[in-house]
Amino acid sequence: MSSPSPGQIPQHVAIIMDGNGRWAKQRGLPRLEGHRRGVETVRTVVDAAREIGIRTITLYAFSVENWKRPPEEVSGLMGLLDYFLKRELNNLIKNRVRLLTIGRTEELPENVQRELNRVKEATKDFTEWTLVLALNYGSRTEVADAARDYAAAVQAGHEQLTDASWDSFSRYLYTGAAGIPDPDLLIRTSGELRISNFLMLQLAYAEMVFTPVAWPEFGKAELQAAVDEFARRERRFGQTTEQLKPARA
C-alpha cells in the first residue's frame, strides 16, 4: 500500500503507551523490565515520528492514578524517567526536538524536575519537532486546574465572564497554555479500549487507533500502520461527506 500524501499525515499524534507490565509478565520478567524496554521504544518512536513527518508527539508516561501502584514500581518509573532525560538530552538537541510537559510536574521527585527543566531549557527554541511528555497527568486534574486559573483570571479582570467560550477557557488547559494543538490521532497499545483520563477534551475529534501490540514491541512499522489507517478515515467534524468534497459532490 502506498504511503499517505503529506496532507494526510497527522500533525499531532498522542499515544497511550500501555502493556509494559503484561509484556514482562508473559516472559517471566519483573514489571520494571517491561518499563525498561518501553523506554527503548520511546527513542524508536520519537525518531520514527520525525521520519514520517509527525510534528508533535505526546506520550502518556505517568498518570495521576499511577501513584497508586506499588511504591517500588513508582520509584522504578521515576528512576527510568531520570535516566531517559539524561540519556536523551544530546539526541533531542541533535535532532532539534523541543521537549514540553503536561501534568502536575511540580509534584514529581526533585531530581526528575531538575532534569526536566534542564532538557526543556536546552530545547526550548526548536520549533519543527515537539515531544510532549504527559507526566503526573490526568484530564480531570487538568480541567480542575484550568477552572481555578480561569476563575483567578476573572477575579483579576483579565477575563470577562460574559466572554466565556471554549476558545478562551481552553487556553487555561495545560495544552492551551503551552500552545499544543489538539491531537489528530490517538494510539493505544496493548489492546485496552479506553482513554484512562488522557486528554479527554482535546481528543474530541481525534481519530483513534487501538492495537494489540504491547508498547515494548511497538515500532516504526506499527506507527506507520496507524498513520495509514488515519489517512483512510474521513474526518467530518460534524459536517456531511458532500460538504467536505464540494467539487466532487
21 is an interface residue for ligand IPE by CB under 6 A = yes
With CB cut-offs between 5 and 8 Å by kind, which of ligand IPE, Mg ion, none does residue 82 bind? Answer: none
66 included as an active-site residue: yes
Angle at 94 between CA 88 and CA 97, to 5 degrees: 70
Nearer to Mg ion, 18 or 184 (CB): 18
Site string for Mg ion, 16-35 (x = CB under 5 A): --x-----------------
Q: How far is it, in rounded angstroms, from Cα 170 to Cα 134? A: 17
Within the chain, what is the greatest distance between any pair of CA atoms?
59
Q: β-strand 207-210 against 97-102: which pairing, if any?
A: unpaired
Residue 92, helix vs strand vs coil: helix
With CB cut-offs between 5 and 8 Å by kind, which of ligand IPE, Mg ion, none does residue 194 bind? Answer: ligand IPE
Catalytic pick among 47, 66, 82, 228: 66
Site string for ligand IPE, 167-196 (x = CB under 6 A): -----------------------x-x-x-x
Q: How far is it, in rounded angstroms, from Cα 148 to Cα 155? A: 11
Closest separation between CB of residue 200 and ligand IPE, Å? 13
Nearer to ligand IPE, 61 or 206 (CB): 61
Closest separation between CB of residue 45 and ligand IPE, Å? 13
82 included as an active-site residue: no
Closest separation between CB of residue 210 and ligand IPE, Å? 13
Q: How far is it, in rounded angstroms, from Cα 20 to Cα 37? A: 8
Region 75-114 residues binding ligand IPE, contact defined as CB under 6 A: 77
Residue nearest ligand IPE, CB atom distance: 21
Here the contacts of 20-23 (C-beta below 8 Å, separation 24 or greater) are: 20/214, 20/215, 20/216, 22/190, 22/214, 23/190, 23/214, 23/215, 23/216, 23/217
What one-letter code names the amino acid at 92? L
With CB cut-offs between 5 and 8 Å by kind, which of ligand IPE, Mg ion, none does residue 196 bind? Answer: ligand IPE
159 is an interface residue for Mg ion by CB under 5 A = no
Name the one residue in this structure whose C-alpha cell is 498518570.
63
All three cell numbers of 159:
477575563
Q: How far is it, in rounded angstroms, from Cα 177 to Cα 145? A: 12
Nearer to ligand IPE, 68 or 94 (CB): 68
142 is an interface residue for ligand IPE by CB under 6 A = no
Write out the residues near ligand IPE by the rule CB under 6 A: 16-22, 60-63, 66, 77, 190, 192, 194, 196
